[in-house]
Amino acid sequence: MGNFLFNFFALFTLITAVGVVLNKNAVNAAMCLLLCLAGIAGLFVQLEAYLLAFLLILVYAGAIVALFLFIIMLLDTQSTVKRPFGKMSMVAGAAALLLLVAGLSTLHVRGQLQAPELSTVPALGASLKLYAYQLFTTYLLPVQIMGFLLLIAMLGVIVLSKKHEGMEDVK
What one-letter code names the amino acid at 92? A
- Position 166 pLDDT exceeds 80: no
Does the pTM surpass 0.75? The reply is no
Tens of pLDDT along 115-145?
Answer: 667 677 666 555 677 777 877 888 788 778 8
How many C-beta neighbours within 10 Å does residue 18 have? 12
Q: What gap in Å lies between CA 80 and CA 20, rounded to an integer?
A: 18
**Of 69, 64, 28, 46, whose CA–CA distance to 55 is shortest?**
64
Is residue 161 within 8 Å of 74, Cβ to Cβ? yes
Average per-residue pLDDT for the chain: 79
Could you tell me the pLDDT band of residue 65, with boundaries at 50, 70 and 90?
confident
Tens of pLDDT along 94-106?
Answer: 898 898 888 888 7
Of these ranges, 71-75, 96-100, 109-113, 159-163, the one predicted with the greatest mean pLDDT is 96-100
**Of 75, 79, 76, whose CA–CA distance to 161 is shortest?**
75
Q: What's the confidence (pLDDT) of residue 143?
A: 78
